[in-house]
């Protein structure tokens, strides 16, 4: 069975996620060879200079030629589009992973790869609101959950190799089905993004009348709105490939916001206290559990 | 004119905000004497041990006797209630400040102080989601905006003394009217709290069906929901003393959330991109400005 150290790994897309992965693989000497595929000439130069890759190219075909593992790290719909033309470029047994934030559409596209290719979906649950190569860093995946979504055709040795890679960069693997993944991340990632965007718009409306609001905005606004600064194209792809689940979460949130609004408008202090105390204790308990070592929090 | 170094300062309430202020005043030797008033015997002992005060007591009267500056640092409605009985305990010229998160009701209550007392409202715009003495720390106020709301009767030398205190702990003063303060913080502090609470409830609903959601929840959920873990009583007081402004902000947010929802449901990708790109650029620009030195961001 192939081990990571024997593998030539090609990462397609050298943004925050892809370039951070390259840096870990290359600088920690985790595999035989690290290649990057990017559209940007300056990123090619920079990734060389910074010892993030052994080889980088703008040409997809030469980038993936002879690779043992190909990892797609572009916005979701670009992953789908690359999967449609990737098959003929790969040799038999190549493992094709991705790092996209929704899994159902990507895994459906992976079904279209030739039978000799071994696909497996993936999604590291970490990130920053800053995008691109410039934001990349070694160690980004330490202690992060990294979802793996094997297809029916995915062999156990492929799952093992993907798991080895995930663990090698310090993350912990969580194996679940693509549709279930998409439903879960709609709640904990896509909904917070929509909420953050709406919050920024609301404060911006107020700032049009009184711009002092920006001076006073402190930690509460900063954290609650942080993900609104995320890359728009990345999130547009996520939202458009997970519409049903995101809409359902928006409706659920709307119900809770309306309930809070009504309690406040009615001055129903006891019910308001109860509802706020409930979210307080749930959020505090989650934080406490998260503070445990990743091996205990993982599945 | 009195300077801070001549003053005996009494802080009423040794929670996160009050105890952090005591630690700065005492350890940096910023005033003549630091006293704390708290309901908790263990907090008295701990504040002594940790060199946060010169004297601590559970007795309000002996705590404020002879103080030059009295700073109320309890939940908002407790501030109002203490203000109602504080007057007769103070000597002429005593400056009475507070650190409450809403200002209109508190400043109205300050009007009830005897004419010989010098009141001024205050609100340091910082904090953490953890409450109580145990969460207190030196340096909490570094680079934070600290709102001051003088009353019509507040003398210029009182504003100067309050400003000196604010600057002494590293914060920068922003002088505005109480009602305007409450309108502004409804948007950037109270609304994020309501949103965070609703978000936690929404995720908790999903977790009832599939608890794996808690394992996957990462940075996006963590930051967007952080303030939901804040002290419930503190926020209940804030919300109940700023209902009109908070309700208006909830309605504004609801409008933006509905618009985002409709664009996503309709698959109107170009309009959705435009709205998301707008909040992206506004949020990124605010972050960039906040990264400047506090003296430039202040008024």
Contact between B187 and A213 using a beta-carbon 8 Å cutoff: yes
- In this structure, the number of other CB atoms found within 10 A of the CB of residue B131 comes to 20
Q: Measure B168 CA to nearest chain A CA, in Å.
A: 19
DSSP string, B10-79: EEE--SHHHHHHHHHHHHTT-SSEEEEE-S-HHHHHHHHHTT--SEEES-HHHHHTT-SEEEE-S-HHHH
Mean pLDDT of chain A: 94
Q: Please check the confidence at residue B50 and state whether its pLDDT lies above 70.
A: yes
pLDDT band at B292 (very low <50, low <70, confident <90, very high): low
d(CA A98, CA A69): 10
pLDDT band at B298 (very low <50, low <70, confident <90, very high): very low
The pLDDT value given to residue A151: 97
Q: Are B136 and B23 in contact (CB under 8 A)?
A: yes
| Option in B188, B193, B276 nearest A197 (CB) | B276
Q: Measure B247 CA to nearest chain A CA, in Å.
A: 7
Q: Please check the confidence at residue B114 and state whether its pLDDT lies above 70.
A: yes
Contact between A219 and B126 using a beta-carbon 8 Å cutoff: yes
pLDDT band at B7 (very low <50, low <70, confident <90, very high): very high
Q: Are A240 and B267 in contact (CB under 8 A)?
A: yes
pLDDT band at A128 (very low <50, low <70, confident <90, very high): confident
Rounded mean pLDDT of A93-102?
97
How are beta strands A145-150 and A118-124 bridged, if at all? Answer: antiparallel
Contact between A257 and B194 using a beta-carbon 8 Å cutoff: yes
Mutate to test the interface with A, among B203, B284, B292 (most CBs of A within 10 A): B203
Q: Please check the confidence at residue B8 and state whether its pLDDT lies above 60.
A: yes
Q: Please check the confidence at residue B179 and state whether its pLDDT lies above 50.
A: yes
pLDDT per position as a tens digit, A67-89:
999 999 999 999 999 999 999 99
Q: Measure B166 CA to nearest chain A CA, in Å.
A: 15
Rounded mean pLDDT of A110-119?
97
pLDDT band at B131 (very low <50, low <70, confident <90, very high): confident
pLDDT band at A47 (very low <50, low <70, confident <90, very high): very high
Q: Where are the alpha helices (DSSP H) in A152-190?
A: 156-168, 178-185
Contact between B260 and A128 using a beta-carbon 8 Å cutoff: no
Rounded mean pLDDT of A283-290?
89
Rounded to 5 degrees, what angle do the CA atoms A30, A34, A38 make?
140
d(CA B135, CA A190): 31
pLDDT band at B288 (very low <50, low <70, confident <90, very high): confident
Q: Please check the confidence at residue B267 and state whether its pLDDT lies above 60.
A: yes
The alpha carbon dihedral of A45, A51, A54, A59 has a sign of negative
pLDDT per position as a tens digit, A187-238:
999 999 999 999 999 999 999 999 999 989 888 899 999 999 999 999 999 9
Q: Report, in angstroms and rounded to the nearest whole number, the Rg of chain A calculated over CA atoms.
A: 21
d(CA A175, CA A81): 24
Give me the interface pTM, i.e. the ipTM: 0.89
pLDDT band at A298 (very low <50, low <70, confident <90, very high): very low
More confident residue, A290 or A36: A36
d(CA A96, CA A192): 30
Contact between B224 and A219 using a beta-carbon 8 Å cutoff: no
In terms of phi and psi (left: phi > 0; alpha: psi -120 to 50; beta: otherwise), the region of A143 is left
Q: Is A260 exposed, middle or buried (0-12, 13-18, 19+ CB in 10 A)?
A: buried
The pLDDT value given to residue B295: 38
Which chain B residue lies closest to A287 (C-alpha atoms)?
Answer: B222
Contact between B265 and A246 using a beta-carbon 8 Å cutoff: no
The pLDDT value given to residue B129: 74
Rounded to 5 degrees, what angle do the CA atoms B123, B125, B128 make?
115
* pTM > 0.80: yes
Q: Please check the confidence at residue B27 and state whether its pLDDT lies above 90.
A: yes
Give residues with Cβ within 8 angstroms of B164, minimum separation 6. Answer: B3, B4
Q: Please check the confidence at residue B290 and state whether its pLDDT lies above 90.
A: no
Beta strands in chain A (DSSP E): 8-12, 33-37, 55-57, 69-72, 95-98, 118-124, 145-150, 172-175
pLDDT band at B163 (very low <50, low <70, confident <90, very high): very high
Mutate to test the interface with B, among A286, A296, A299 (most CBs of B within 10 A): A286
DSSP string, B174-207: EE--HHHHHHHHIIIIIHHHHHHHHHHHHHHHHH
Contact between B227 and A224 using a beta-carbon 8 Å cutoff: yes
Q: In the block, which residue shows the tokens 């002594």? A: B48
Which chain A residue lies closest to B235 (C-alpha atoms)?
Answer: A276
The pLDDT value given to residue B2: 84
Domains identified in chain B and CATH numbers: 4-176 (3.40.50.720), 181-266 (1.10.3660.10)
Q: Is B62 exposed, middle or buried (0-12, 13-18, 19+ CB in 10 A)?
A: middle
Tokens of A195: 């909420």
pLDDT band at A289 (very low <50, low <70, confident <90, very high): confident
């Amino acid at each position: 069975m192939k081990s990571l150290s024997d593998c030539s790994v090609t990462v397609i897309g050298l943004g925050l996620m892809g370039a951070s992965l390259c840096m870990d693989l290359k600088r920690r000497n985790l595999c035989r060879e690290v290649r990057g595929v990017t559209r940007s000439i300056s990123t090619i130069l920079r990734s060389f200079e910074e010892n993030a890759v052994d080889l980088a190219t703008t040409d997809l075909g030469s980038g993936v030629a002879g690779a043992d593992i190909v990892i797609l790290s572009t916005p979701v719909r670009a992953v789908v589009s690359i999967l449609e033309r990737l098959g003929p470029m790969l040799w038999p047994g190549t493992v094709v992973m991705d790092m996209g934030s929704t899994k159902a559409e990507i895994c459906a596209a992976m079904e279209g790869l030739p039978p000799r290719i071994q696909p497996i979906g993936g999604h590291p649950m970490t990130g920053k609101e800053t995008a691109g190569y410039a934001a990349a860093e070694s160690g980004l995946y330490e202690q992060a959950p990294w979802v793996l979504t094997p297809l029916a055709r995915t062999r156990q040795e492929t799952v093992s190799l993907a798991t080895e890679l995930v663990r090698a960069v310090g993350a912990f693997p969580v194996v679940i089905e693509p549709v279930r993944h998409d439903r879960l991340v709609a709640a904990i990632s896509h909904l917070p993004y929509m909420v953050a965007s709406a919050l920024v718009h609301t404060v911006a409306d107020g700032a049009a009348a009184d711009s002092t609001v920006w001076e006073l905005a402190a930690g509460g606004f900063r954290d609650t709105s942080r993900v609104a600064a995320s890359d728009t194209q990345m999130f547009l792809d996520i939202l458009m490939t997970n519409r049903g689940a995101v809409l359902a979460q928006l409706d659920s949130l709307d119900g809770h916001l309306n309930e809070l609004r009504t309690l406040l408008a009615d001055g129903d202090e006891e019910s308001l206290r109860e509802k706020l105390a409930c979210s307080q204790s749930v959020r505090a308990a989650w934080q406490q559990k998260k503070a445990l070592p990743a091996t205990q929090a993982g599945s």
